[in-house]
Amino acid sequence: MKKLWLHTVRIYLTIGLFFYYKKIKVVKESKIPKEKSVIFLSNHQNALIDALLIATTSGRFSYFLTRASVFKKPLVSKLLHSVNMLPVYRVRDGWSTISKNNYIFKTCTEKLKKNGAVALFPEGNHHINRTVRPLSKGFTRIIFETLSAYPDIDLQMIPVGINYQEGTTFGDSVALYYGNPISTKSIVSKFSNEEIVALRQTVQYKIKELTTHIEDNTYNETIKKLHALNVDYLSPKKVNRCIESNFHECESKPIKGNNLIKQFFTRILILNLILPFIIWRFYIKPKIKEVEFIATFRFTIAITLVPIWILFCSLIFVFNLGLIYGLTYFITVFLIALLSVKL
């Protein structure tokens, strides 16, 4: 039943993301192992939406380590646990909660022992900036504890680079780059501090290759130049080469004019989804304090309230005009949504 539930959720999320993003590009440098224990290590720009993208594109059912603050409400906690999300406690959650991580890390070790998959964001927090921040020690602890308890396990690290064209807009595009698996045994043997440093440096270097990385001290100046050049952030290696060449080796995207047809379908879509749109625009969005949560909350509305509203309107057509009219309305709204995103 658990596998059936996970398959159902993944299919539903995949459909939702297909309608939410104009383009989802997935690049895998090599096949992701199916029968080995793996730990996905990704940059973190966009709150929960980052985890959903990995969950629907990696090909593995992973256990995701998620900030404990989102587990506060019992119903939400139960739902998150049902889709393999585990709470990770930080100092800001209170010193008394830190010890709870022992159980969470032990759970990860046991899942990896059974050739399972764990996914986490080693930067420790999210930020919309196109910068790979220093990595925390959390993932190294999981690796050390797993190899210490089960020395024969073939634990593979898979670096992931998530790249958004914009980051917060509806109908945005995103590219996920999965790097070649890295054997933890090639780095860890003595469980020393030097190996902790080596793990962090290896993973950070690889993530920097898989996503656009701009140094903090030149961030504002660099991002302005990249925007002016109209670079394609879905191709991070080209963007990084542009930066490294001091903007001499840069490729620009074709400049597109105003898409009047897209604007037309977007306005029609808003009219058909007027209640969800009003709730989003005037009730939920003003309460979002961190820009990194905009895509997550908008997507949540898109896969919960929007389908309910469309079904409700379709039933009104069915009861008043007949089944054919209801089905026609239902299909038409989804076609309008598709055109407003994909054009």
d(CA 240, CA 74): 43
Mean pLDDT of the chain: 91
Stretch 30-36: mean pLDDT: 91
Encoded tokens for 276:
């969800």
In this structure, which amino acid lies at residue 28? Answer: K
Encoded tokens for 50:
């980052």
Say if residue 114's pLDDT is above 90.
yes
pLDDT confidence bin for 219, thresholds 50/70/90: very high
pLDDT confidence bin for 126, thresholds 50/70/90: confident
pLDDT confidence bin for 3, thresholds 50/70/90: confident
pLDDT at 2: 80
Say if residue 172's pLDDT is above 70.
yes
Say if residue 93's pLDDT is above 70.
no
Stretch 137-141: mean pLDDT: 90
d(CA 128, CA 115): 33
pLDDT at 264: 92
Say if residue 329's pLDDT is above 80.
yes
The dihedrals phi and psi of 119, each to the nearest 5 degrees, come to -125, 135
Say if residue 41's pLDDT is above 70.
yes
Which range, of 39-48, 65-74, 149-158, averages the lowest pLDDT? 65-74
Say if residue 89's pLDDT is above 80.
no
pLDDT confidence bin for 253, thresholds 50/70/90: confident
Higher pLDDT, 96 or 167: 167
- What's the predicted TM-score (pTM) here? 0.92
Stretch 218-222: mean pLDDT: 94
Strands 156-164 and 182-183, bridge-based pairing: antiparallel
Stretch 43-67: mean pLDDT: 92
pLDDT at 58: 94
Q: What percent of the chain has pLDDT over 90?
A: 74
Stretch 202-228: mean pLDDT: 94
Q: What percent of the chain has pLDDT over 70?
A: 97
Stretch 314-334: mean pLDDT: 94
Say if residue 72's pLDDT is above 70.
yes
What does the DSSP assignment read for 91-148? GGG-GGGGGGHHHHHHHHHHHHHTT-EEEE-TTSS--SSS--PPPPSHHHHHHHHHHH
**Distances 278 to 68, 188, 246, 285, 322 between C-alpha atoms, Å:** 30, 53, 45, 10, 28
d(CA 159, CA 182): 8
Say if residue 99's pLDDT is above 80.
no
Say if residue 67's pLDDT is above 90.
no
d(CA 291, CA 167): 9
